[in-house]
Amino acid sequence: MGTRAGGRRTGPKCIAIVGPFASGKTTLLEAILARTGAIPRQSPVSSGSTVSDHSPEARAHAMSVEATFATTDFMGEQITFVDCPGSIEFAFEAEPVLAACDLAVVVAEADEKKIPALQLIMRKLDDLAIPRILFLNKVDKAIAGVRETLKMLQPASSVPLLLRQIPVRKDGIVIGSIDLALERAYIYREYAESQVAEITNDDKARELEARFSMLETLADHDDHLMEQLLEEIEPPKDAIFDDLSADLRAGAVTPVLIGTAEKGNGVLRLLKAIRHDAPDVEATRKRLGVPDGQTVVQVMKTIHTAHGGKLSVSRVLSGQLADAAELFLSNGDTAKVSGIYRMLGKDQIKQASAKAGDTVALGKLDNVKTGQTLSSAKGGIRPLVMLEPPQPVFAFALRPKERKDEVKMSAAIQRLAEEDPSLSLRHNQDSAETVLSGHGEMHLRVVRERLEGKNQIPIEGHAPAVPYRETIRKGAQQRGRHKKQSGGHGQFGDVVIEIKPLPRGSGFQFSDTITGGVVPKTYIQSVETGIRDYLKTGPLGFPVVDVAVNLSDGSYHAVDSSDMAFQMAAKLAMKEGMAACSPVLLEPIMKVEIVTPSDATSKIIALIPQRRGQILGYDARPDWPGWDVVEATMPQAEIGDLIIELRSATAGVASYKAGFDHMAELTGRLADEAMNANGKAA
């Protein structure tokens, strides 16, 4: 009898369901909940009535846009499943979820186009050291055999994909599966438990070959099993199950189960594998480094409900948790639990307490954010998870259609950012715009729909303003005199300035060569203030950079001169002098690093010049087989919707990082358009 795994792990478990977009994750969750009796029947995703489709945005776009939690019971054990979105635009939803899960079920299908997306998911599981099972979905529609499919999918996984089931076919149609560990056939029955059957003579040879291949992979981690195979000794089944459990929990293999979630096929075998092989919360505690002797809670998601207020969906990693319990954050702040709820999609069932392993929603933890760690230890403990949202790749400037909604919109966005920490909001001082940034056009479309639908705030949105600047090509000398007499003290300021261009990136420099006190020292600072104020908006309508101004001469009046008079004189000199300095528009040029599957690299390279970009080079992405990194420079004005084109060319998986590189002159039609858009004639 095997002893490597140490037996089945009992107690509440938390399982993430992940996979590429449209692989069938929500359908699988529905099938699981129907099979375990949590819901009366399985609803097709197209009906818009599934547990995960409770948000109008998910229904409208036929895709999951947020993590959905559902707790059910199977064979006397409590399991919480978390359906995570498959689109890369909503991938950050899974970050705080995965860290606190015991196991991930990766839903995939025999689609070569989705391998890069699958690789992104598998890589994240590697980074977090999350054990996983791969559920090969839609086997009834697959043309290739499962072993050929696994060869196709294997490059996406850093560990062996271990085939545990093979299909049973009749007249070319998949009607069931053979469990290679049990050596037992199961004939599918739609939305019902499969029927046990004998392995036919036609299937026996395939079963023996596939089973031996499975045992060979397991033997890589079990010397005793290797000896048995070499000596052609049939290993006992309990030892095989022990190896399967041990290698899964250690992350040495990814067992592969097959089925069709839409018909409920293969779901029961998946549930039994989870119950028998999945690690429990103790393994998750060790992985996260949870200290002993206290209650520790990890917040996985924040939800603002219409009537129940704020809910913090959390995993109890250790200890016991009672309603009204006081917990501490890592910064020493306290949080008092006001209600403990079991989750089933949008529905919550109140309960008195929670124990280690439970995944529950905690009410009204107003100062608690997604990803934070709560503890019963006074002063809190170190955070177990560090959330680092990826750099935003899409943005729009927004404002309410009615000014009276400004405060309401700000509060609504703050709530949305609590629910989705990957959103970022900033106020652009230059353009006076409120800019919302996220991870794709659909990501921000959903945010806007929530503002307008859930929060009833009509929104106007447009592309954020590009931070153009202007500079000069040549120098000039100019006198500026401000003189005004209106009874009593007048106003008098007189300056002569020299304006010169500076090298790109130098900013602004001010100096004076005043001699003989023609401009008293007390007013020299006033001249600089006036010049700086003018430079906020130059003759082309944009802030002026890379100029030097020297105050060389001037005059004053003992009575009428003042700080304000010299500021006005300086502005007049700048206004007249700058026009003679050949002003020119500057646009920001960004350095862009694009990551893309290698088979789409040529498409990416082709589109860069179309956006006035210059290719700096490309190379293989380090430690990412099948991926490349393309480096380029590109005007910021061309980057606004770049991600849409990148994702279109790469089946939705490419991304980029961009950072400011330099400013470059912009002339001709594009400069005219930029100035006209800014309200200035060319």
Helix, strand, or coil here: 476? strand
The C-alpha atoms of residue 251 and residue 279 are separated, in whole angstroms, by 11
CA of 497: how far to CAs of 216, 475, 514, 569, in Å? 85, 11, 11, 10
> What pLDDT, in 10s, does the model give residues 143-164?
888 999 999 999 999 999 999 9
Confirm if 582 and 474 have CB atoms less than 8 A apart: yes
How many CB atoms sit inside 10 A of residue 8's CB? 13
Average confidence score pLDDT of the chain: 93
Structure tokens at 24: 């069938």
pLDDT score, position 52:
59
Confirm if 68 and 85 have CB atoms less than 8 A apart: no
Structure tokens at 563: 């700080």
Confirm if 83 and 33 have CB atoms less than 8 A apart: no
CA of 60: how far to CAs of 46, 55, 372, 546, 590, in Å? 11, 9, 31, 50, 35
The H or E element spanning position 668 is helix 668-677
The C-alpha atoms of residue 442 and residue 440 are separated, in whole angstroms, by 6
Structure tokens at 574: 């700048």
Confirm if 442 and 61 have CB atoms less than 8 A apart: yes
Structure tokens at 438: 């996220």
Section 219-231 average pLDDT: 92
Confirm if 448 and 624 have CB atoms less than 8 A apart: no
Confirm if 143 and 110 have CB atoms less than 8 A apart: yes
Cβ neighbours for 75, distance < 8 A, ≥ 6 positions apart: 272, 275
> What pLDDT, in 10s, does the model give residues 398-439?
999 999 999 999 999 999 999 999 999 998 888 889 999 999
**Which residue type, as a one-letter code, is found at position 527?**
V
pLDDT score, position 3:
75
The C-alpha atoms of residue 468 and residue 476 are separated, in whole angstroms, by 23
Q: What are phi and psi of 377, to 5 degrees?
A: -75, 130
pLDDT band at residue 520 under the 50/70/90 scheme: very high
The H or E element spanning position 452 is helix 441-452
> What pLDDT, in 10s, does the model give residues 280-321?
999 999 999 999 989 999 999 999 987 778 999 999 999 999
Q: Is 138 left (phi over 0), alpha (psi -120 to 50) or beta?
A: left
How many CB atoms sit inside 10 A of residue 500's CB? 15
Asked whether the predicted pLDDT for residue 27 surpasses 90, the reply is yes
Asked whether the predicted pLDDT for residue 680 surpasses 60, the reply is no
pLDDT score, position 23:
95
Structure tokens at 505: 């990136």
Give the pTM: 0.91
> What are the b/e assignments for 151-177, b being 16+ CB within 10 Å?
eebeebbebbbbbbbbbbeeeeebbbb
pLDDT band at residue 679 under the 50/70/90 scheme: confident
HEC letters along 47-91: HCCCHHHCCHHHHHHCCCCCCEEEEEEECCEEEEEEECCCCHHHH
Nearest to 344 by CA among 135, 92, 87, 83: 83
Asked whether the predicted pLDDT for residue 682 surpasses 50, the reply is no
Q: What are phi and psi of 557, to 5 degrees?
A: -120, 130
The C-alpha atoms of residue 173 and residue 139 are separated, in whole angstroms, by 9
pLDDT band at residue 46 under the 50/70/90 scheme: low
Confirm if 409 and 396 have CB atoms less than 8 A apart: no
